[in-house]
Amino acid sequence: MSDEKVRVRIAPSPSGNLHIGTARTALFNYLFAKKMHGKYVLRIEDTDLDRSSEEYKQNIFDSLKALGLNWDEGPDVGGQYGPYKQSERFDIYPKFAQMLIDKGYAYECFCSNEDLDKEHEEAKAKKIPYKYSRKCLNLTKEQKDELKAKGIKPSIRFKVDYKELVFNDLVKGELKFDTSLIGDFAIMKSNGTPTYNFAVVVDDMLMKISHVIRGEDHISNTPKQILIYEALGATVPKFGHLGMILAPDRSKLSKRHGATAVSDFIKQGYLTEALLNFVALLGWAPSDGVEIKNVDEIAADFRINEISSSNSIFEYEKLNWMNGQYIKKMDISKLTDLALPFLNKYDTSKYSRDMLERIIEVTREPITLLKDLENDTQYFFEEPKLDEVKELLSTDLSKKVLEKFKNDVKDYDFNNEEEIHNKLADFRTYFKEQFGFKPKETMWAIRAALTGRTRGADMVAIIVILGKDEVIKRLNNV
């Protein structure tokens, strides 16, 4: 197959916000398309109108875009093989279903839900796996017409004949299925809408999808889909099924473990670059062992057949670490833009943009999430809370230090950072020589008075950012 023919797709159902697992599937499709100079398509699978919503669809768009996983063809950008929303393709599916009936691959089924429930119960009582009884397989035209005249609308079932089905999964290797275990399954519901297995095949066929890369939770659907491709006389795409993402306790990743929707991760202050880098490592490993890599570097190194076929564990701890690494390295202007929404409880307008960047610059080092900045920058925007340092501030040492500092700082040149740095050094030496105070303790007293804390950003930076008036005001308040 020539490179140009590679066409992959991500096909989320808008029945929830974009899940981090779907983001990984999207990323692997995106990387494969990039590597093979192919096309990456977004299709919205909203045939289940009751479970789909505009809001979720928008969340999927926004989350994929935030991650930079922009599609070549899709509902908003269009393309040669649209529409890209299944709800706008409802007139397409019945034609293909009819074609299958005409060729003898499918038949109308008039069984009611009650009939089918009864069959299920009987199978359960006999402890055998359920398969449709084929009650409607051999109905005559007259019988069907009669049922239709009564107003009963049929569903359409695909007739599954015995066959040993083998396919070579790009990730899992050779997979074999005995189709005699699959009962005749519905391809169209009685309300005229397609089932997932049918719509997905018709769309992948018409959209000329060459490789279907998706989660292994769909493996059991694949034999059904291959049977439909074959019946339609279409080329069967290559399949690659990715292992699942599990929580650290090896159960299904769910909200009780932490965020699962991309938009929730972003709300907590994960950087999209870190998220992407992290999910790429769930099943894929860089050939040079260097884990921190941007999408272009990952794409260059990406080989689909090297994806691990086993499940991956979603280590929140590792993601946090990685996020911290990205926060430390990120361009400060960009980081400030991303950080400001997390500081909206403060009046940030009292600082110039340069100063805000400075505040972020001096507080970013220890944080793992952007939301940590709210706490870590508090003393730049509000009066410090002195409760926790009360004792520290009431020692004899602190009193001596703060009294002299209040006096000295009046003469500091706040435009000359280096000078402040040197003066503070002299200040520490003075107390060490005069009173034997440890330099660290001298600085603690000043830090506690100005910030209400014993740790935090660089002291000189704090003094400069707060400015002379504020520093003196805070010292007077102690």
Give me the residues that bind ligand GLU (CB under 6 A), please.
11-13, 45, 200, 214, 218
**Residue 138 φ then ψ, to 5°:** -110, 30
Our CA angle for 28, 30, 34, nearest 5°, is 115
H helices present in 410-456, as ranges: 417-435, 439-451
Which CB atom, from 214 or from 453, has the smaller least distance to ligand GLU? Answer: 214
Q: Are 104 and 64 in contact (CB under 8 A)?
A: no
Rg (C-alpha) for the chain, rounded Å, is 32
Which CB atom, from 12 or from 456, has the smaller least distance to ligand GLU? Answer: 12
HSE-up of residue 6 (Cα within 13 Å, Cβ side): 16
CB of 90 to ligand GLU, least distance (A): 16
CB of 233 to ligand GLU, least distance (A): 21
The DSSP secondary-structure symbol of 414 reads T
For residue 101, which amino acid is it?
I
Which CB atom, from 40 or from 326, has the smaller least distance to ligand GLU? Answer: 40
Give the separation between CA 254 and CA 260, rounded to whole angstroms.
6
Which CB atom, from 45 or from 301, has the smaller least distance to ligand GLU? Answer: 45
Which CB atom, from 216 or from 372, has the smaller least distance to ligand GLU? Answer: 216
Nearest to 156 by CA among 222, 116, 106: 106
Which CB atom, from 83 or from 286, has the smaller least distance to ligand GLU? Answer: 83
CB of 444 to ligand GLU, least distance (A): 55
CB of 446 to ligand GLU, least distance (A): 57
Give the separation between CA 164 and CA 79, rounded to whole angstroms.
37
For residue 352, what are its two tokens? 């110039």
Give the separation between CA 221 and CA 242, rounded to whole angstroms.
14
Nearest to 329 by CA among 302, 300, 293: 293
Which CB atom, from 238 or from 364, has the smaller least distance to ligand GLU? Answer: 238
CB of 357 to ligand GLU, least distance (A): 41
C-alpha distances in Å from residue 101, one per residue of 43, 89, 200, 344, 372: 27, 20, 18, 61, 61
Which CB atom, from 29 or from 442, has the smaller least distance to ligand GLU? Answer: 29
CB of 182 to ligand GLU, least distance (A): 17
Angle between helices 272-280 and 20-35 (to 10 degrees): 80
CB of 359 to ligand GLU, least distance (A): 42
CB of 85 to ligand GLU, least distance (A): 12
